[in-house]
Structure 1
Amino acid sequence: MTLDPVHADRWQIRRLVVHLARLAVFVSIIALIHLQYASSSTRVTAIADLSIDQVAALFPAATSLEGVASDDGRMEVRGADGQSLGYVVQTSPESDHIIGFSGPTNVLIGFDHQDHVVGISILSSEDTRDHLLEVQRNERFMSSLDGKLRDEIGGHAVVDAVSGATLTSLAIQESMIHRLGGEVGSLRFPAPLSLDDISVLFPDADRLEPDAVHGALWSVDAGGDRIGQVLRSSPAADNIVGYQGPTETLIGFDRDGAVVGIAIGKSYDNEPYVGYVREDSYFRSTFAEMKLKELGEADLFEMRVEGVSGATMTSMAVSDGVVEVAKKHLEDLQREASRPKRRSGLQVSVHDIGTMIVILAAIVIGATSLRASKRIRIAFQLTLIVYLGLIAGNLVSQAMIAGWAKHGVPLKMAPGLTMLVIAAFACPLFSKRNIYCSHLCPHGAVQQLIKGRIRYQVKLGHSLSKILMLIPGLLLLWCLLVTMMALPFSLVDIEPFDAYVFRIAGWATIAVAVVGMVASLFVPMAYCRFGCPTGKLLEYLRFNARSDRWTLRDWVALGYLGLAFLLWIRTVN
C-alpha cells in the first residue's frame, strides 16, 4: 500500500522519533554506567563513614567514635564508660594511588595509646576479589603488624607477601607505610642488583655499587674505571602493570650519559610474555643513544613504540616504566616540584591502519553488488577471521562496551578499534544495515563459512526458536547488572570473542566459541541468532522500515534503563 504524501511525512517523522527514543535509552544507560563508576571509584570510605561494627573488629569493646582535630585524620575509639581505647586511621585516600593486582585497597589500622598496632582490617578494595580473599584468609599476614610501633611501620616494616596474592598483599603493605609517613622503597623488587643482572648491558663489568643519594641508580666499573650507570625502574614504576603485574627494567647509560639499552629483570607478569620481551633485542634497543632528559620527556606515541608482537601489554608497560623512572630521576636531579608534562597525540599503528582498511572494504562490499560475488565474500570472510580476529584481535564485545562506558573511549590508544566500534553502531543507526554482524565480525564470518556444510540440519520449532531468542536479551541484562553492581564476574566469559586472542583466552570464552560453532553446523548462524548479546544490541539500534513501532522489546529496554537508574541512585546515596 502506498501512502499519500501527508501520511508518508507523518510516518517518517514517527519513525524518526521512535528511533531517536531507542537511541536515547541506550545512551542514557551508557551515561548511567559512567556516572555510577565515576562516583563509586572516587568515593572512599571516609573517616566519618566508619561504623562501630567496622571498628569492633579491632576494638571489641568499642561503643563510639570521636573525631580528633589532628593532621593525620585519626579517630578516637571509646568504650562504654567513655574511656579512650585507642585510635584508628585508614589508608584512603592518601594511598589510593598504590594499586595491587587491579586496584587500591583501603585498610583500617588500629593503635593503642602507646602507638602499638592492635590490628588491621580491610574496609574496601578495588582489587580482584580472589586475591583480596586470599590476603584476608592469611592470618599470619593480617596479624603480622600486631604489637609493632607506628614508627616501625612508617620505617619500612616489611612482612612476607601472601603466596597467590603477592601484588595485592605488597600493595597493602606499601599503602600502610605511605599512609604512616614512611618513604616506601620497592617491596616488589627488594633484592639488590648483581653483575648477572646487568651482563646483557655491560658484559665487561666487574664492580657494581649503589649511588649514595639516588637509590635507583647504580654505578658500573670495569678494571677500576667507571664505564657507565644503571637506573632501575623500581620503585618508581612498580605500579605500572602489564598484562598481570609490573616488570622491573634496568636502563644502562654509558660514560657520556647515553642509553646503551635496557634489560628485563624480575617480573610479576605472565610467561611467555615476559620471555618474548626479554628475547627481543630490537625492542630492548628502542631507547638506545637517548640522553636522560630525552628519555624523561619521551612521547611513546610520537616515537611509535608498538611493543613486542604477542606481548604488547607487557612490553608497553616496560616502555612506560622506562619513561616514568627517567622522568622521576630527572626531577630528583633538577629538584623540581612537579613533573614535566608529556605531550600526547594519536598513536596509529599498522594494525590500526589495517583495521580501518577492513572497515572501509566491509562498507563498500555491504553497500554494493560486490556482496553477491561468492569469491569476494569468501575471501573477505577469511580476511576477517585471520586478520581482524587472530592477528589484530579487534572485536566488539560487551566486556569492551562496559569498559569504555566506565573509563571512556581510548581513541588515542586504539584508534582502529574505536573506528570499528563507531562503524558497528553508526551503520545500524543511520542505515538499514547491521554492517558489523554481517560484514565485520570474525565469529559471524566463521558461521557464514560453515553454514550448510553438513547434510544433516536441525529445524527448530517456532516456539523453541522464540524461547532461545530470549537468551541474548537476558545476557544483556546480566551485563548491566554485573557492570552497575560491580559484581565479581567477567563479561569476557559470556561471549566467544576473546577466543580469537587465543594466547590469553580463558576456557570459558573458548568453550562458548566452540559450542557456538558446533551448533552453527546444525542450525545456521546459531550463535548469532540465539546467543550473541552484542548482535542483539546492534539489531535493536538498527534503523529499519518497522522503526516506527514501539514494541515489547522497547518496553524491555526502558525497563533496563529504569533498573540502571535505580542502581545508580543506590550508589550515589
Structure 2
Amino acid sequence: MALGTVNADRFQIRRLVVHLARLAVFVSIIVLIHLQYAKSSARVTPIADLSVDQVDALFPAAATLVGVASDDGRMAVRDADGQSLGYVVQTSPQSDHIIGFSGPTNVLIGFDDQDRVVGFTILSSEDTRDHLLEVQQSERFMSSLDGKSRDEIGHGAVVDAVSGATLTSLAIQESIIHRLGGEVGSLRFPAPLTLDDVKRLFPNADHIEPDPVHASLWSVQSAGDPVGQVLRSSPAADNIVGYQGPTDVLIGLDRDGAVVGIAIGKSYDNEPYVGYVREDSYFRSTFDEMKLPEIAKADLYEMRVEGVSGATMTSMAVADGVVAAAEKHLAQIEREASRPKRRSEFQISVHDIGTGIVIIAAIVIGSTSLRANKRIRIAFQLTLIVYLGLIAGNLLSQAMIAGWAKHGVPLQMAPGLTMLAIAAFACPLLSKRNIYCSHLCPHGAVQQLIKGRIRYQIKLGHSVSKLLMLLPGLLLLWCLVVSMAALPMSLVDIEPFDAYVFRIAGWATIAVFVVGVVASLFIPMAYCRFGCPTGRLLDYLRFNARSDHWTVRDWVALSYLGLAIWLSTGH
C-alpha cells in the first residue's frame, strides 16, 4: 500500500512537472511574439543614430553628419571638404500619431541651405508593406516636394495621393506638414460640405456657409433663418481607423446645440461595412439630444454603445470619431492644451452576458451526465451554432491568439470573447477536458450534428490518418512564422471561423469552411481531427493519460520555441 502511494505521488509530481513545462513552452512563445512585435513596431529611429548612408539618397556628396542633433531636430550634412550641403529632419516622433493604412511612417526630409527641399525618403514604417512599396515606387510622389520652401510645406503644400495607396501617401504628406508646420487641414477629406450633404440632417436647409474661425463647423439656414450647425469629425478623427480606414461623420446640431443626428460622409473603410452603418438608424441616433460637452466627456462603454452587427469596427470608429470631434472643437473654443480624458471602465454587453451563460452551460453539460442526454446535446449544439457563432460571432482562432499575443488581451473591448478564451485554455490546463472543442466551438457543433448523417463513410487507413494529422501542427508552425517574421499574410484565411460572420467573410475562409464541412460528412469530425490548429493547440495543453511522459509532440513544441527564439534574434 505504501509503495503504491509513493508511486502514485511520483506519478502526480511527474505529470505536474511535465504539464508545467508544456505551459512554459506555450507562454514563452506568446511572450516572444509580443516582444518581437514590440521590437518591430518601434517607431522612432533616433536622429542622432543616422548614418551617412541613410542620407546618401538626398545628398550624394554627403561625407559627415553633425554628431548632435540641434534643438529643433535638425542634423547638418557636410561634404568631404567640410562645406555645408544642408540639413535633415525626421518626422518621428512628432508625427507618430498620424496613421496611414495600418501604421505611422518615419520620413527623412532633406533641405538645402536656403531651406528648400532636396527630397525625402522613408526611414521606417509600420504601414502595410505593399502600400508603402507603391508609394516608394511613385517617382511623382517622392519628388513632389522638391524645391518647395519649408514655409510652403509647413502651411500645407498638398500634392496628389498615390492611387492604390491613398491612405499611406496622405499620411506621409500629413506627417511632413505636421512636422514642419503643426496642425493642417484634412488631406483625407479636403472637399467642402455641399447642401446635399447637409440636407440629410436638415431636409429644409437651403444655404450653408463655413464658420470663419472653426474650419470643421458649418452654419445651416432655411428661408434666411438659422436652423443649426453641422460639425465634421474630420480632421479630428482622420486617424481613427475602423476596419481599413477613417470615415468622415457629419454631426447635426440644432440652435440649442443639441444633436439632431449624425450622417456618414466619405469613407476609406470597406463596403459593405460603411453601408451597414449608413442604413442603421438606431446606431445613428446614438448621440441624439446630447450636447457637445456631454459627448466630449462621454464614455462609450458607460453609454453601452454597441457596434452595428457585421460592421463593429467601422461603427465603433464612427462613434469614437464623434467623440473626438466634440473634444477637439471644445478644446479650440476653450483654448485648452489638451483634450478631456475619457474614462475607460469595464462594461459588459448583452452578448457578453449571453456568452457567459453559454460558457457556464457548456462546463456543466461537459462535466456531468447531461452530455449523454441526446436532446440536451442537440439543443445545445444548435445554440452554439446560432448564438455563439452566427449572432455573437465568438469563436477562437489563430488570428485572434496571434493578435492578442502582439497587442494584449482586449478585456474591456471584448469581455465575452475573453471569457471564452479563459474557459478554452483553463479547462484543458486544469482538467482532462477540452471543453471548448467538445462543447463550445460552433464549428465543432456543426460537425457533431452532421456526423454519420449519410450512409457512405470513408475509412482512412492508419498511415493516411497519421499523415493527415500532421496538418494542424504544420499550420501552427505557419502561424508562428507569420507572427514572428511579420509576414503580410492573413491568418484568418487558414481557418473557417470568420465564415460564421458571413457578411464579412473572405473567400478563403468560406472555402475552408465548405471543404471542412463536406469532408466531415464522409469522415467524422474531419476538420477537427485533420485541419484545426486551434484545437490541436488546446489538445496539447490538456491533461491526458500520458501527461507524465515527454512525447514527440513536446519535442515538436520545443522546436517551435527554438524557432521563435531564432527568429527573435533577427534571422
Cross-structure match for 2:95: 95
Cross-structure match for 1:393: 393
Note if contact 2:120-2:142 (Cα within 8 Å) is conserved in structure 1. Answer: yes
The answer as to 2:504 corresponding to 1:504 is: yes
Q: CA deviation at 1:131?
A: 1.6
Q: CA deviation at 1:301?
A: 0.6
> 1:25 is aligned with what amino acid?
V
Q: Secondary structure at the match of 1:73?
A: coil
Cross-structure match for 1:360: 360
> 1:557 is aligned with what amino acid?
A
Note if contact 2:43-2:96 (Cα within 8 Å) is conserved in structure 1. Answer: no
Q: How far apart in 2 are the matches of 1:537 and 1:37?
A: 21
CA deviations 1:167-204 (Å, max 9, x no partner) are: 11111110110111232210011111122111122222
Cross-structure match for 1:371: 371
> 2:154 is aligned with what amino acid?
G
Q: CA deviation at 1:68?
A: 4.9
> 2:562 is aligned with what amino acid?
G
Q: CA deviation at 1:2?
A: 12
Q: Secondary structure at the match of 1:180?
A: helix
Q: CA deviation at 1:434?
A: 0.4
Q: How far apart in 2 are the matches of 1:50 and 1:235?
A: 32
> 2:264 is aligned with what amino acid?
I
- Residue 439 to residue 3, structure 1, CA distance change in 2 (3 Å): farther
> 2:321 is aligned with what amino acid?
G
Q: How far apart in 1 are the matches of 2:469 and 2:475?
A: 11
Cross-structure match for 2:320: 320
Cross-structure match for 1:277: 277
Q: Secondary structure at the match of 2:301?
A: helix
Cross-structure match for 1:116: 116
> Mapping of 1:61-76 within 5 angstroms?
61-76=61-76
Gaps of 5+ in 2: none
Cross-structure match for 2:423: 423
CA deviations 1:500-533 (Å, max 9, x no partner) are: 2222222222222222222222222222112211
Q: Secondary structure at the match of 1:449?
A: helix
Q: Please report the RMSD computed on the Cα atoms of aligned residues, expressed in angstroms.
A: 1.9
Q: How far apart in 1 are the matches of 2:54 and 2:499?
A: 42
Cross-structure match for 1:538: 538
Q: Secondary structure at the match of 2:371?
A: helix
CA deviations 1:247-294 (Å, max 9, x no partner) are: 111111111121111121111112222222222222222111112211
The answer as to 2:101 corresponding to 1:107 is: no
Note if contact 1:153-1:182 (Cα within 8 Å) is conserved in structure 2. Answer: no
Note if contact 2:298-2:323 (Cα within 8 Å) is conserved in structure 1. Answer: yes
Cross-structure match for 2:495: 495
TM-score with structure 1 setting the length: 0.95
Gaps of 5+ in 1: none
> Mapping of 1:119-134 within 5 angstroms?
119-134=119-134
Note if contact 1:68-1:76 (Cα within 8 Å) is conserved in structure 2. Answer: no
Q: Secondary structure at the match of 2:427?
A: helix
Cross-structure match for 1:56: 56
Q: Secondary structure at the match of 1:444?
A: helix
Note if contact 2:295-2:326 (Cα within 8 Å) is conserved in structure 1. Answer: yes
Cross-structure match for 2:213: 213
The answer as to 2:45 corresponding to 1:45 is: yes
Q: How far apart in 1 are the matches of 2:193 and 2:342?
A: 30
Q: How far apart in 1 are the matches of 2:67 and 2:158?
A: 30
Cross-structure match for 2:227: 227
Note if contact 1:499-1:513 (Cα within 8 Å) is conserved in structure 2. Answer: yes
Q: How far apart in 2 are the matches of 1:513 and 1:78?
A: 61
Q: CA deviation at 1:71?
A: 2.4
Q: CA deviation at 1:136?
A: 1.8
Cross-structure match for 2:480: 480
> Mapping of 1:159-170 within 5 angstroms?
159-170=159-170
Cross-structure match for 2:460: 460
CA deviations 1:427-450 (Å, max 9, x no partner) are: 101110001111111111222222
- Residue 13 to residue 218, structure 1, CA distance change in 2 (3 Å): same
Note if contact 2:249-2:263 (Cα within 8 Å) is conserved in structure 1. Answer: yes
- Residue 564 to residue 261, structure 1, CA distance change in 2 (3 Å): same
Q: How far apart in 2 are the matches of 1:458 and 1:429?
A: 33
- Residue 473 to residue 210, structure 1, CA distance change in 2 (3 Å): same
Cross-structure match for 1:349: 349
- Residue 434 to residue 82, structure 1, CA distance change in 2 (3 Å): same
Note if contact 1:156-1:182 (Cα within 8 Å) is conserved in structure 2. Answer: no
Q: How far apart in 1 are the matches of 2:399 and 2:240?
A: 22
- Residue 2 to residue 369, structure 1, CA distance change in 2 (3 Å): farther
> Mapping of 1:13-28 within 5 angstroms?
13-28=13-28
Cross-structure match for 1:253: 253
Q: CA deviation at 1:59?
A: 2.4
Q: Secondary structure at the match of 1:124?
A: strand
> Mapping of 1:4-19 within 5 angstroms?
4-19=4-19
> 2:315 is aligned with what amino acid?
S
The answer as to 2:306 corresponding to 1:306 is: yes
Q: CA deviation at 1:548?
A: 0.8
Give the aligned length.
571
Note if contact 2:48-2:68 (Cα within 8 Å) is conserved in structure 1. Answer: no
Cross-structure match for 2:560: 560
Q: How far apart in 1 are the matches of 2:193 and 2:3?
A: 82
Q: How far apart in 2 are the matches of 1:267 and 1:273?
A: 10
Q: Secondary structure at the match of 2:198?
A: coil
Q: CA deviation at 1:452?
A: 2.2
Q: CA deviation at 1:40?
A: 2.8
Note if contact 1:67-1:74 (Cα within 8 Å) is conserved in structure 2. Answer: no
Q: Secondary structure at the match of 1:362?
A: helix
Q: CA deviation at 1:43?
A: 4.6
Note if contact 2:301-2:346 (Cα within 8 Å) is conserved in structure 1. Answer: yes
Cross-structure match for 2:440: 440
CA deviations 1:435-475 (Å, max 9, x no partner) are: 11111111112222222233332222222222222221122
Q: Secondary structure at the match of 1:432?
A: coil
Q: How far apart in 1 are the matches of 2:3 and 2:278?
A: 70
> 2:28 is aligned with what amino acid?
S
Q: How far apart in 1 are the matches of 2:474 and 2:214?
A: 57
Cross-structure match for 2:236: 236
The farther-off stretch of 531-540 and 305-314 is 305-314
> 1:313 is aligned with what amino acid?
M
The answer as to 2:414 corresponding to 1:414 is: yes
The farther-off stretch of 119-128 and 449-458 is 449-458
Q: How far apart in 2 are the matches of 1:399 and 1:145?
A: 40
> 2:416 is aligned with what amino acid?
G
Cross-structure match for 1:146: 146
Q: How far apart in 1 are the matches of 2:69 and 2:353?
A: 58
> 2:532 is aligned with what amino acid?
C
- Residue 528 to residue 12, structure 1, CA distance change in 2 (3 Å): same
Cross-structure match for 2:550: 550
TM-score with structure 2 setting the length: 0.96
Q: How far apart in 2 are the matches of 1:539 and 1:315?
A: 36
- Residue 493 to residue 51, structure 1, CA distance change in 2 (3 Å): farther
The farther-off stretch of 320-329 and 282-291 is 282-291
CA deviations 1:203-239 (Å, max 9, x no partner) are: 2222212222211112222233222221110100111
Q: CA deviation at 1:422?
A: 0.5
